Each structure stands twice: as C-alpha cells, then as structure tokens.
Chain A
Amino acid sequence: MKPERTSRSNRPEEPEEEAGKISVAKEVIATIAGLAASEVPGVYSPKGEPLPQGSAVQRYVHTELLEGRVRIALSVVIGYGRVLPEVAQELQEKVKTEVERLTTLPVEAVDVEVVGIVEAEERS
C-alpha cells in the first residue's frame, strides 16, 4: 500500500502504513542528497574537495519541510571549465530523483548555491 505522508516540524516525514509509521529523519534525506550530489561529475564541497561520504556531507545540505514536501538546498563548488547551470541542473535532477526514489517523499525543489570554482578538475 502506498504510504500516506504527514510532516512534522523536526521529523520530516512519517509515511503511514497499516503496520505502523515509518519516519525518515531530515539527516537521512541530507545524507542521501549529499551522496547523490557526489556522483555528479564536476561537483565538489565548498572547500574544493570531493564531497565527503556519509553523514559528514550534511553540513553542505540544508533540508526543509513544507507541508509534506521536501525542499533541499546545497552549497557546492564546481570545477573550472564546466558550464555552471548545466552542472547545477544535473545536480538538481540527480538529487531529486535519488531522494524521491529512496524515501518516496516528494521533493518540491532542489536549490543549488554555487559558492566557487575549483581548478582541481583540470588536474584530475
């Protein structure tokens, strides 16, 4: 049965099923979003390093809940030579798809803040 979703202020989503509630914490959504972001070529952490794996990526991802819908904001650095909007849109697509696939929660928007450019890509 498709779970019915309700939102709470601190606990993002609690899809309801007959057997009980399933809660997905904001941190989990942030981690999934961060992992998805790390798979996009040309995307780095604001420090100019590859995005960290696991919960460490949460510091670069902000998750917000609005009436049962998730809004995600990411701060990233993009490799020099890339077309920034193209990379940012690829990032939005990837994050939205992965979060929706793994949590079944609807993602309203993925906002991307490009805070810098790194030359690491040229070297790699």
Chain B
Amino acid sequence: MTFVLWLEALLLLACAALSALGASLYLPEVVVGGSAASPLTVRVGLGVLAAVFLVASGICMAVAVRRAGLAQALALSAPKGLIFITPRTVSQLVVGLLAEELGETPFQVALLPKGKALALRVSLRLPAEASIPSLAERLQEVLSTEVARRTGLEVQEVQVLVNGATLRG
C-alpha cells in the first residue's frame, strides 16, 4: 500500500510539473491557438492545476512516510522470524482496554509513528462527574503500560483528547 502511495505521489508530482511547465511556457499559445480562452486565462488555469497536483502529491508523500514509519514501529524481530502487528490490532487492543476502563464510551484511536516507537492519540468523552485530569492521566498510564506489555511495542506517548462529556442515566 505504501508503494502505491509513493507511486501516486510521483505521478501527481509529474502532473504538477507538466502543468507548471505548460503555464510558464508557450504551451497555451500553441495548444489553444485561436480559441475563446485567452493564453493568460489558460496559464492561470494551468498554474492552479499545478498547485492542486502539488498539494495532492505532498499529501500522498506525507501519508506514505507516516505508513512506512508506522510499519517500522509495529514490527518486532524474534529469533525465528518477524512479528508484525497491524495498526488495526493495536487499535482493537486500545478499544478493549478503554472499554474495560470506561465502559460504553465513544472514542477514536489513531496511531502515529514516533521514531521507532509508537504514539497513541485517543479522542474520547469522559463522564461529566469525573475529574478529567486524574482520569485522563490514569488512561495514559493504563494504555502505555498495557499496550507495551501485550504487544511488545514501545509506546512513547499517549495523547488523550477529551472532546466531550457523557451524562449518566
């Protein structure tokens, strides 16, 4: 998947380069000739297109770099071969741990590479009556300890984003 993303990024980059070249050189005059669109309009259009391709290419590269970093962070070397733990597995584990701690609470989990280690970002709602700092701190402790223990991966950071409160009853 990462390879496909790199390929997409390169293709988009090539498109951006071609569009930019077209905008800056004589392509509008040659291609459009006597059509209704003025060369300047075509140049501006190609310039915008080049910018869009460039941004899309940058996004693809960023995603590819992130995935490659994540793949490195999720691989373990064992004496008899490699052990690779997919991001989905870690997310499922975090979901299970949060369900144990908080019960039926809506939350979202994202994994981020942090060098050769892993960072977890959890967005969730906490019970309204709970002390947010102490509960969030406990969650950080539980997640970093348990994820590291159960997966063998290095968890460098746990970011907890409390984006709401839940009312009981």
Residues of A within 8 A of B (CB): 72, 78, 80, 82-85, 88-89, 92-93, 96, 109-117, 119
**CB <8 Å contact, A110 and B81:** yes
Q: Which residue of A lies closest to B92 (CB)?
A: A117
B138 interfacial contact with A, CB 8 Å: no
**CB <8 Å contact, B84 and A117:** no
User: How many angstroms between the C-alpha atoms of A114 and B96 in the bound complex?
Assistant: 16
Contacting residues, chain A, for B85 (C-beta < 8 A): 84, 114
**Which of B47-55, B104-112, B148-156, B158-166 interfaces with chain A?**
B148-156
- Please tell me the number of chain B residues within 8 Å of chain A, measured between CB atoms: 19
In the complex where A80-B96, A83-B149 touch, is A89 in contact with B80 (Cβ < 8 A)? yes
**CB <8 Å contact, B84 and A112:** yes
**CB <8 Å contact, A84 and B81:** no
B86 interfacial contact with A, CB 8 Å: yes
In the complex where A80-B96, A83-B149, A85-B151 touch, is A114 in contact with B78 (Cβ < 8 A)? no
Nearest Cβ in chain B — how far from A105, in angstroms? 15
Q: Which B74-100 residues sit within 8 Å CB-CB of chain A?
A: 76, 78-86, 88-89, 92-93, 96
Contacting residues, chain B, for A117 (C-beta < 8 A): 89, 92-93, 96
User: How many angstroms between the C-alpha atoms of A83 and B83 in the bound complex?
Assistant: 13
User: How many angstroms between the C-alpha atoms of A84 and B93 in the bound complex?
Assistant: 10
**CB <8 Å contact, B82 and A85:** no
User: How many angstroms between the C-alpha atoms of A114 and B76 in the bound complex?
Assistant: 11
**CB <8 Å contact, A92 and B81:** yes
Contacting residues, chain A, for B83 (C-beta < 8 A): 84-85, 88-89, 92, 111-112, 114
In the complex where A117-B96, A119-B96 touch, is A112 in contact with B150 (Cβ < 8 A)? no
**CB <8 Å contact, A82 and B150:** yes
**CB <8 Å contact, B81 and A116:** no
**CB <8 Å contact, B86 and A115:** yes
Q: Which residue of B lies closest to A71 (CB)?
A: B81
